[in-house]
Amino acid sequence: MTPYDKLHKHFARLNDLYHVGAIAQWDEAAMMPTGGGDARGQALATLDGITHQMLTDPQLGEWLAAAETATLAPWQAANLREMHRSYRDATCVPESLVERRALANSRCEQAWRVHRAENNWQAMAPLLEEVVALAREEAAARSAVNGMSLYGSLVDSYEPGMTCAQLDPLFAELKAFLPGLLDAVIEKQARHPAVLPEGPFPIEEQRALGLEMMRTLGFDFEHGRLDVSHHPFCGGVPSDVRITTRYETEGFTQALMGVIHETGHALYEQGLPAQWRSQPVGQALSTAMHESQSLLMEMQACRSREFLHFLTPHLQRCFSTASAGSTTWQEDNLYRLFTRVNRGYIRVYADEVSYPLHVILRYEIERELIEGTLDVAGIPDAWDTRMQAYLGLSTAGNYRDGCLQDVHWPAGLFGYFPTYTLGAMSAAQLFAAARRSLPELPAQLAEGNFCALLGWLREQVHSQGKFLDYNALMQQATGSPLQSSWFRAHLEARYLEGG
């Protein structure tokens, strides 16, 4: 057996353990009784420790060095490159830190589910202080190896190669035009406000609609399912994708678009190259590319006028409170409903115009946290200051809708937030390229036909795995590297030029 063959077998075994961990994490969020938290946290910490041991085995380093001299096929060479990256990222973080972080993150995340509902920042702060302290330790360990800044080293773990030097100008471009665009759109929409459909909207009806739209988009129910959790997410593995949403009977738009969003993630997972799924090169390219797939479906395709033409009769039939003869349930009003722009507190409920400002707020705060210029105790004030500056809202004393609204920091996910907006920009650029390649795409969306769009994404993005790096994939699929101009053009066309 060659060194490369040994590596292939080793990473396939690792993938089996990741599979078990992914399903256990989904179960913790969607099905596990509250009393199982401590034991599940310990079990996951042990599993993390085992996988870390396997990734840092000195023999792995020997096989990697020996495989460098082998003649490999292109996909094998790309796989070896990603193996090197996995080994480097793992060996720079001590096993004891991996286990301590897993335990602290699990405790903090489980407490967040209780204390957010209570608006109890005082109870959360000590737990979050431990999580931040350990994140700083990890950042220092990674930075010492890859030479990046403390915060940049964490961003790199989600978005390989991305640096703060690249993020800062991209976000500066957004901050330069988004506040003015937000004002203009809100003023325009005030002249023709959407009429809110009256509920209640039973959960059973919402779930049925969500399942129908998942089928429309191309979700494979033989290899996935839909459930409920506190925070919508896509988990599991490509052969068994688990997505979740959350429902409220007063409205239906958030749950529906949450399902569509997570289905975009799931379609990416289900479309990864089957023959390479047990290997690093067969995994999703990056967090931003993953987010681009969910936002392409939710924002670019399913909030378009064309898709709303298809969706309208389905909404009229689905809900017992709907009346096809009412102007409230007509296409024009529903389009206004699904493209409303507001200044709001909650990121996951934000529209695509204001959403990047929510992300930039978090980017700036967590960067200061990791680099030590802000302590956990200062988070609420820093949050309130930026919310007022960027969105004209105050969160003083409102932790539930402020700094406790997201699960990411309690779960130890620092460096993740920037990928949401990188994903939004990528989605706009990819969708524009798809429309150039598929002239009939608007008409197809109006019929609920996603076959051509999904086929294009399968070819250009999903089937590529990690064979190409991010910039190379964007160049190949769209003809240029990532630019903010496509995102801006999309927003202006939909919200200022459109009806």
Tokens of 490: 């999309």
Token pair of 46, please?
Answer: 């042990």
Question: 464 near 473, Cβ under 8 Å?
Answer: yes
CA–CA distance, 277 with 283 (Å, rounded to integer):
6
Closest CA to 368 of 354, 353, 388, 383: 383
Q: For tokens 């931040």, what's the residue?
A: 132
Q: For the purposes of burial, counting CB atoms within 10 Å of the CB of 420, is it exposed (0-12), middle (13-18) or buried (19 or more)?
A: buried
What is the distance between the alpha carbons of residues 378 and 326, in angstroms, rounded to a whole number? 50
Q: Whole-angstrom Cα distance, residue 415 to residue 150? A: 10
Contact partners, residue 32, CB within 8 Å, separation at least 6: 40
352 is catalytic: no
Q: Which of 82, 262, 352, 366 is catalytic?
A: 262
> How would you classify the pairing of strands 234-237 and 240-245?
antiparallel
Residues acting as catalytic residues: 262
